[in-house]
Amino acid sequence: MPSSSSPPIRLHGIVGHPLGHTLSPLVHNWGFRHFGIPGVYLAWPVEPGRLADFVTAVRVLGIAGVSVTIPHKTAIMPLLDDITDRAAKIGAVNTLFWREGRLCGENTDVAGFMRPLVERGIRPASALVLGCGGAARAVVAGLKELAVPDVRVSNRTPGRAEGLCRDFGAEFVPWEKRETFAAGLVVNTTPLGMLGVNEGVSPMPADALGPTGVVYDLVYNPYETRFARDAAAAGARVIVGLEMFYWQAVEQFRLWTGCELPRDEVWELLRAALAG
């Protein structure tokens, strides 16, 4: 047992509904142990109707940091004291942290998405984003920060994409015509390819992929989706979703602790978890 002089264990966790299998506790709890930080990261499945009560609990209990996932990324915003400019622009929060006694919301998905592109020196002239949910908003915001001149969005339901295109100055591409736009970068933000009922499904026809483009799939479980395999077979450069997941977690951990998660060790941890 810890002695009476030991620092208190600081609570962190992820809130969403349903949560299902998340790798976030694995990453952050490993980080706390690695740096000797007295912290723990838990999973909190919270239904939408109980979100306000959850935020009250964060304040009362002094919970140090929270990851926010579907369906709470937008609904949680008016319950906070401050929202960063980036999160406000995106219209979604995926991280809660404290600053000068105020509960703040940030969106680390943007930095998580951009980092693999920046590291590879990829600056496409055009990009096609598949899907229009919260992840798509973060992706389009990141592409705009990277000054990609031609950003287009394709979604099965045109009406749902209108707000995203309007907010970020992107152009809509009908879903049935998505393969006709020869984008330098294609990003999948849909659940197509994800482990479960969508596994083995690709958001793009294989014959629409070629050797000159870059394919970025945000789905990280399984590690290599059908979309990624088809793209690799066509000779395209592929960025797997685990990279974005890792980098957004790095940003969250830094916000909460000021420490940078070591890349090699955490990457192997994640790969082993997916393989197992």
From the number of C-beta atoms within 10 Å of its C-beta (0-12, 13-18, 19+), residue 57 rates as middle
Q: Who contacts 82 (Cβ-Cβ below 8 Å, separation ≥6)?
A: 99, 102, 103, 104, 105
Check if the beta carbon of residue 90 is closer than 8 Å to that of residue 135. Answer: no
Residue 89 falls in the annotated catalytic set: no
Buried b (16+ CB within 10 A) or exposed e, 89-109: bbbbbbbbbbeeeebbbbbbb
The number of helix segments (H) and strand segments (E) in the chain equals 9, 12
SS3 (DSSP) at 148: coil
User: Which is catalytic among the residues 73, 89, 144, 177?
Assistant: 73
Check if the beta carbon of residue 14 is closer than 8 Å to that of residue 67. Answer: yes
Residues labelled catalytic: 73
